[in-house]
Amino acid sequence: ETGVTQSPTHLIKTRGQQVTLRCSSQSGHNTVSWYQQALGQGPQFIFQYYREEENGRGNFPPRFSGLQFPNYSSELNVNALELDDSALYLCASSLYSSGNTIYFGEGSWLTVV
Amino acid sequence: QKEVEQDPGPLSVPEGAIVSLNCTYSNSAFQYFMWYRQYSRKGPELLMYTYSSGNKEDGRFTAQVDKSSKYISLFIRDSQPSDSATYLCAMNINSGGYQKVTFGIGTKLQVIP
């Protein structure tokens, strides 16, 4: 148990719709990042939030956006869903100063039909 | 060329065998090296992390880093059926708190009783 919780665990959306995924970070962790893991692939970095601001982004289009709240919880929003967005979305929490203790939640499985 | 290369396997070994999992990388700026274990349809679980070249041992697991060759390994001694999972190597640059983690594709391991 990492203490990182995500919701929902599974969901199905239609192409063109919007989705919001939620994450509560581990107690004491002030940094949250999101990853996309397609079937049979390693996780791909989407972005990172610290002090409620995005401070790093991977190679994902602007329709992927996020929020971090004062309690360090976070949301990932994806607009105009495409079939290729079907994946496991992982939230990870860590301390800003730590580069090696990054803990993941169990993820949210998104299927776009 | 991918920044991190990892053989996807699958790798099948008999119970009790020593398992060797490996990754190579191309970015010499990587500072932290991690191994995650991921069971089917679950989030990645942090197994070990190292910072410098050399070996780090934790129970049945040994992580090895050779920065001069850009090569990292994870050894599992006395492998158990419960070790059957996908093993992801991961590495990052902790620059100013920015913690983008780059993952390998993962090696699927099956330990046969």
Cβ(A81)–Cβ(A105) under 8 Å? Answer: no
Query: pLDDT band at residue A14, thresholds of 50, 70 and 90?
Result: very high
Angle at B6 between CA B3 and CA B8, to 5 degrees: 140
pLDDT for A30-65, tens place per residue?
Answer: 889 999 999 999 999 999 998 899 988 999 999 999
The two three-digit tokens of residue A84, written as one number: 């290729």
Could you give the percent of chain B with pLDDT greater than 70?
A: 97
Name the residue facing B97 among A31, A100, A105 (closest C-beta).
A31
Report DSSP letters for A62-109, one per residue. TTEEEEE-TTS-EEEEE-S--GGG-EEEEEEEE-TT-SS--EE---EE
Please give the radius of gyration of chain A, using alpha carbons only, rounded to the nearest integer.
13
In this prediction, residue A102 carries a pLDDT of 87
- Verify whether the Cβ–Cβ distance B99 to A40 is below 8 Å: no
Residue B44 has what DSSP assignment?
-
* Rounded CA separation A88/A106 (Å): 9
pLDDT at residue A104 greater than cutoff 70: yes
- Verify whether the Cβ–Cβ distance B94 to A92 is below 8 Å: no
CB atoms within 10 A of CB B13: 17
In this prediction, residue A26 carries a pLDDT of 85
* Rounded CA separation B71/B74 (Å): 11
Burial B71-88 (b: 16+ CB within 10 A, else e): ebbbbbeebeeebbbbbb
In this prediction, residue A97 carries a pLDDT of 67
| 22-81 of A, contacting B, C-beta below 8 A | 31, 33, 35, 40-45, 48, 50, 55-56, 58
Pairing of strands A103-104, A87-94: antiparallel
pLDDT for A65-100, tens place per residue?
Answer: 999 999 889 999 999 999 999 999 999 998 776 666
CB-based contacts of B17, cutoff 8 Å, min separation 6: B79, B111
pLDDT for B50-70, tens place per residue?
Answer: 888 889 999 999 999 999 999
